[in-house]
Amino acid sequence: MPSGPCVTSVSQRASPIPCPDPMTPDSHAPAPTAPPPLSIRVLGCSGAIAAGSRTTAFLIGDDVLIDAGTGVGDLTLAELARIDHILLSHSHLDHVLAIALLADSVLAQRQAAGRPPIQVHALAPTLAALRDHIFNGVIWPDFTRLPSAEHPALEFVPFEHGDRLVLGGKTIEVLCALHTVPAAGFAVQGGAGGDDAGGWWVFTGDTGPNPLLWQRLQSLRVEQLVIEAAFGNAERALAGISRHLCPATLGAELAALGAPLNACVDVYITHVKPGELDAVMGEIARIETPHRIRPLAAGQVMRLG
Ligand SMILES: [Zn+2]
Ligand SMILES: [Zn+2]
């Protein structure tokens, strides 16, 4: 859907939803006729690395990867080989570094099985950055032309803000993000698809204050929001310069996520640096908000639908 920045044509849900306690065992149980919930496996959600801390990557179902940070390395070879699509929020290394090694890991297995290239979906400037600075024959071979131009390991596929993609049966909308490089967030639809399906899992990507995002979410029912808080309040100036959020700016952002459609949402904090989680969550706990906020954890499996 080639459209202007952040313009979409998605129909709205007519009425607000109740806000069940997520700790109630049955609160996410599907209705008897509902499709099985979509799984979103958090492979990495840290702003940097250390033992137990992995950078951003989410496995949607078993064949779509959102961002390719160091968390991808926890997947088995068989799990890696099932990935047909990689969506990238932006070109920064903590979100893209595993693509190169993933391509090498699964190349022989996928080609022997006659599988197509892994499609890497991103904004055109992000794909250009990958081509110029990673798959340039110096840092890494150009796997968009290897092992042959006819049957390469990777295929680069550009998207634009506002596009709605259907990949492996999953509907994913490309959202705006405002970062130091061209950037996107993603909304993944739960249920079986269509306007009457379940709510949406939303990942902001790396972003500073982003009014276009909140404008868009006024007409999407958000079931789970994964939002970044890359810095503590002591580094608010640095957060501003690097176009990230900190708890002080996060509070103002979440104030824009509200009634009637998203009066009470499960919010998960991502991109906190190793060793800073307790301090950042302590500052976030002082935000006055109707939403339920908690830290995201690597290894967590979210269910949507
Ligand atoms: Zn970034
Ligand atoms: Zn990042």
Residue 26: exposure state from Cβ atoms within 10 A (0-12, 13-18, ≥19): exposed
Which residue carries 């979509």 as its tokens?
A: 38
Mean pLDDT calculated for residue range 202-221 = 96
Whether 251 and 269 have beta carbons less than 8 Å apart is answered as no
Give the model's pLDDT for residue 259. 83
CA-based nearest residue to 207, from 185, 233, 231, 232: 185
Separation of CA 178 and ligand 1 centre (Å): 10
223 sits in which H/E element: strand 222-228
285: pLDDT strictly greater than 60: yes
Closest ligand to the CA of 44: 2
Closest ligand to the CA of 91: 1
Q: Poorest-confidence range of 180-184, 192-196, 282-286? A: 192-196
pLDDT tens column, 261-270 = 999 999 999 9
Mean pLDDT calculated for residue range 106-121 = 96
d(CA 253, CA 162): 20
Beta bridge partner(s), residue 164: 173
Mean pLDDT calculated for residue range 149-165 = 97
Separation of CA 42 and ligand 2 centre (Å): 15
Residues whose beta carbons lie less than 5 angstroms from ion ligand 1: 92, 206
pLDDT tens column, 215-257 = 999 999 999 999 999 999 999 999 999 999 999 999 999 999 9
Q: Poorest-confidence range of 22-31, 72-81, 150-159? A: 22-31
pLDDT tens column, 43-58 = 999 999 999 999 999 9
Closest ligand to the CA of 181: 1
Whether 269 and 245 have beta carbons less than 8 Å apart is answered as no
Separation of CA 205 and ligand 2 centre (Å): 8
Beta bridge partner(s), residue 41: 59, 301
Mean pLDDT for the chain?
90
Q: Can you give 6-66 as a three-state secondary structure string?
A: CCCCCCCCCCCCCCCCCCCCCCCCCCCCCCCCEEEEEEECECCCECCECECEEEECCCEEE
196: pLDDT strictly greater than 90: no
Separation of CA 55 and ligand 2 centre (Å): 8
Closest ligand to the CA of 55: 2
- 7/134: higher pLDDT: 134
Give the model's pLDDT for residue 198. 72
Mean pLDDT calculated for residue range 139-153 = 96
Give the model's pLDDT for residue 31. 53
Closest ligand to the CA of 203: 2
pLDDT tens column, 8-34 = 333 333 333 344 444 444 445 555 566
Mean pLDDT calculated for residue range 33-45 = 89
Closest ligand to the CA of 228: 2
Beta bridge partner(s), residue 269: 227, 295
Give the model's pLDDT for residue 79. 98
Give the model's pLDDT for residue 15. 37
134: pLDDT strictly greater than 80: yes
Q: Model's pTM, two decimal places?
A: 0.89
